[in-house]
Amino acid sequence: MTWSDHAPITRTVTSPLFRPRTTHWHLNETLFSNMTLVKDAHTTLTQYFMENTMAKTPAAIIWEAHKCTIQGFFLARDITLKKSRETAIRDLTDKIQDLETPHKTANTLDTYQELADVRGQLPSLLRQHHQHSLQHTKAFFYINSDKCDKLLATLINKKWNKTYITGLRDTQGQPQRMPTRIAKVARDYFKNLY
């Protein structure tokens, strides 16, 4: 795959306070089921290389820039498809709500049939979203499955952070934050309790 987001030069920042918040771009594989989109991507790449190989630009720069070009192409098409799907879902739900009122008041066969037809269109639109979510989930667990300690350690760490005691107050009301002092306060409390 030529448009992966791997760069030839990387920099690693190590700091105990550094927590990356941005996610990396991942290709939405469901876009490949749309053959028109695949042809457009091929045309975009062909046009890119025709326009940029004529200049005296180094091949490495052309190669790296083509990754950005194809990522931008797929990202733009994915956003366009997502917005059109969300608009269609919103329009269908509005139409369903508009048809439910006359159906409840008149209760005719025509309004019921029209309402059933509109409701029948909604699951196909929702199925596309669920298919993408399912593929994303499968990919996540496939990537992390052969690193059994990573996924399990993350889940255990979250649970441990929720139950971790950071400090206790002793009998004089002074906060104790050192682990040995916390253990002593807990031991004294339960010793006096029983």
Place of tokens 């002092």: 181
pLDDT attached to residue 1: 42
- How many structural domains does the chain have? 1
Note whether residue 167 is domain-resident. no
Structural domain contains residue 62? yes
For position 4, what pLDDT does the model report? Answer: 53
122 is a domain residue: yes
Q: How far is CA 84 from the centre of its chain?
A: 19
pLDDT the model gives residue 46: 93
Range of the domain at 101: 29-146
Q: Contact, 4 vs 68, CB < 8 A?
A: no
Instruction: Kindly state whether residue 82 falls inside one of the protein's structural domains.
Output: yes
Tell me which H or E stretch contains 168.
Answer: strand 168-169
Asked if the model's pLDDT at residue 6 lies above 60, the reply is no
pLDDT of residue 39: 95
Instruction: Say if residues 113 and 98 touch (Cβ distance below 8 Å).
Output: no
Does residue 152 lie within any of the structural domains? Answer: no
Which DSSP category does 27 fall into? -
Is the residue at 183 inside a domain? no
Tokens representing 25 are: 């771009």
The CA-atom distances, in angstroms, between 148 and each of 142, 153, 154 are 11, 8, 10
Tens-place pLDDT, residues 29-76: 778 888 999 999 999 999 998 888 877 888 888 888 888 899 999 999
| Cα 28 to Cα 44: distance, rounded to the nearest angstrom | 18
CB atoms within 10 A of CB 185: 19
- The Cα-based distances of 48 to 4, 70, 96, 106 in angstroms read 17, 9, 45, 59
Looking at residue 87, its pLDDT comes to 93
Q: What was the pLDDT predicted at 41?
A: 93
In a domain, 186, yes or no: no
Distance from C-alpha of 82 to C-alpha of 74, rounded to nearest angstrom: 12
In a domain, 161, yes or no: no
For residue range 167-186, what is the model confidence (pLDDT) as tens digits?
888 989 999 888 888 889 98
Closest CA to 42 of 32, 55, 29, 52: 32
In whole angstroms, give the CA distance from residue 65 to residue 77.
Answer: 19
- State yes or no: pLDDT of 18 exceeds 80: no
Overall pTM surpassing 0.85 (yes/no): no
98-136 pLDDT per residue, tens: 888 888 888 888 888 888 888 888 888 888 778 878 877
